[in-house]
Amino acid sequence: MNQLKYLALSFVLLLASATVSVAQQYYNVVKYGARRDSSKLATQAIAKAIDAASKAGGGTVYFPAGKYKTGPIHLKSNIIIDIDAGAEIYFSNNFDDYLPMVQSRYEGVDVMNFSPLFYAYKVENITIRGRGLIDGQGKKWWAFAEGKSRRENESKWQKEFRRLNPEVLNSLKPDVPGVMERAFLRPPFIQPMYCKNVLIEGITIRNSPFWTVNPEFCENVTVTGVTINNPKSPNTDGINPESCKYVHISNCHISVGDDCITIKSGKDGPGRKMAAPAENYTITNCTMLSGHGGVVIGSEMSGDVKKITISNCIFDGTDRGIRIKTARGRGGVVEEIRVDNIVMKNIREQAIVLDMQYAKSQPEPITERTPRFRNIHFSNITAETNQAGYLNGLEEMPIENVTFNNMNLNAKTGFTVKQAQNIEFHNVQVNAATGPAVRAENVKTLLLDGVRTLAPKAATATIDLTNTEDVFVYNSFPAAGTETFLKLNGDKTKNVVLRNNNFKYVKSPLKKEDAVKEQVVVD
């Protein structure tokens, strides 16, 4: 009996060992015809290696050290692309190599377009990893997209795009002229669509034609230890997970020609129709250098953005730090966002932006076109920046429930808050070179707890409020030399209370303009 048990156990272990050996099997692209000196396009050789691994149930497609030239690489389920140290993959800049066009998404709109450089559609368990380099050779793409030849003559690629996307173009004409109308949409570098269990790890990426790492409608995506360099290039965002669930971005180093990390969920009517939110994202331990923004949400957020945490990151030299943007017509909601433990330096514009008027428009009735920002919280941030922060809601839909905690900012100008409600500042120090630390206009329910500046200016109030109601100012201890602490303006300003403040060094704790009719409680 014991011998039978032993034989059964041995058989099980043998099966397990066989399974592991299949899963770990390597498919060297060189053995399938790829050349390591980039003298020949390796597209077909790589496809053969992927097919062989797929037929075996999965495996690792391996690139040993060397230089490879290829067209698009299409992944299948259970495939690992392993790019070893010393391996460099250069993607062709011949646009024809990216035909036939495939199902893709471009700036929040679902289209048929050039194949992404790495592409996967409705597969699972895929990985791109290694210490090697992948280069998109994007310069030719950038030049054509921005250049005269595209404008002067309708290319065959534009004609093909129009042929494949008549409904998209017709539906967008009233709303979205411009890029889509050009009919030449550069492909993203890495775009898995409708995939599960996606891992991108360790690689160095440069010169993307368009957005770099751009998962769409995926579930369980991890991007870790990745370096992205797209210098002086148009629209080459670093990591753009769009309409995905359970995304983990960590330990990445990004320097690009547009936003470093961007969270999106579709654009306007098409985005609302898909109704696929971006939700449950964590972003941590990343450094971001050149870029329009460090971490940006929107402006394509029509399918909603929810439950996002951003922590332990450094932004050095980006135009903005954290930027959340939208406009009338987008619809959708951005909510449950937490930003914590961030260091910003050399920020050219604002450290923090929440702007619902990214594109200027007139007030309109609240409908599905109306976007919303709510329940957004910032804490433990230090910054050297041009402007501390800018919050700009809509007249018909104010920004709602935003808090700032434990922040220290050196800036040319302070916070501006407009068209908002339920806004709180707790232990926030803004050392502004000019203007007030906090300026608010058309705000309802504003709490200012321990707000101060170490750089008070003559004839400038630390806090300047216009048409702001339900205000509670407390626990403030203004620095010596403060001439005016709080200035009130506008006939809609009312219900202002100052309590538990130390105005020992303040010449005038409160200044009211004549338009302010209601009494202010000071004790």
CA-CA distance, 95 to 139, in Å (whole number)?
12
Q: What is the 3-state secondary structure (H, E, C) of 57-107?
A: CCEEEEECCEEEEECCEECCCCEEEEECCCEEEEECCCHHHHCCCEEEEEC
Burial 97-121 (b: 16+ CB within 10 A, else e): bbeebbbbbbbbbbbbbbbbbbbbb
Q: Which residue bears the tokens 């202002």?
A: 496
* Contacts with 183 (C-beta within 8 Å, 6 or more apart), sequence order: 154, 157, 158, 159, 161, 162, 165, 169
Based on the residue annotation, tell me whether 292 is a catalytic residue of this protein.
yes
Handedness of CA 410, 414, 420, 426 (dihedral sign): positive
Element (H, E) at 49: helix 43-55
CA-CA distance, 210 to 161, in Å (whole number)?
17
Based on the residue annotation, tell me whether 449 is a catalytic residue of this protein.
no
Residue 383 and residue 344 in contact, taking contact as beta carbons nearer than 8 Å:
yes
Q: What is the 3-state secondary structure (H, E, C) of 337-371?
A: EEEEEEEEEEEEEEEEEEECCCCCCCCCCCCCCCC
Nearest to 468 by CA among 398, 404, 406, 411: 398
- Whether omega before 290 lies within 30 degrees of 0, making that bond cis, reads no
Strand pairing report for 102-106 and 109-113: antiparallel
CA-CA distance, 512 to 273, in Å (whole number)?
49
Nearest to 240 by CA among 264, 275, 220: 264
Element (H, E) at 145: helix 139-146
> Identity (one letter) of the amino acid at 351?
A
Residue 374 and residue 333 in contact, taking contact as beta carbons nearer than 8 Å:
yes
Strand pairing report for 196-201 and 124-130: parallel
Q: What is the 3-state secondary structure (H, E, C) of 294-337?
A: EEEECCCECCCEEEEEEEEEEEECCCEEEEEECCCCCCCEEEEE
Q: Which of 258, 259, 268, 355 is catalytic?
A: 258
Residue 72 and residue 100 in contact, taking contact as beta carbons nearer than 8 Å:
no
Q: Which of 292, 319, 355, 464 is catalytic?
A: 292
Tell me how many degrees the CA angle 250-223-354 measures, rounded to the nearest 5: 65
Q: What is the 3-state secondary structure (H, E, C) of 193-246?
A: ECCEEEEEECCEEECCCCCCECCECCEEEEEECCEEECCCCCCCCCECCECCEE
Tell me which residues are annotated as active site: 258, 292
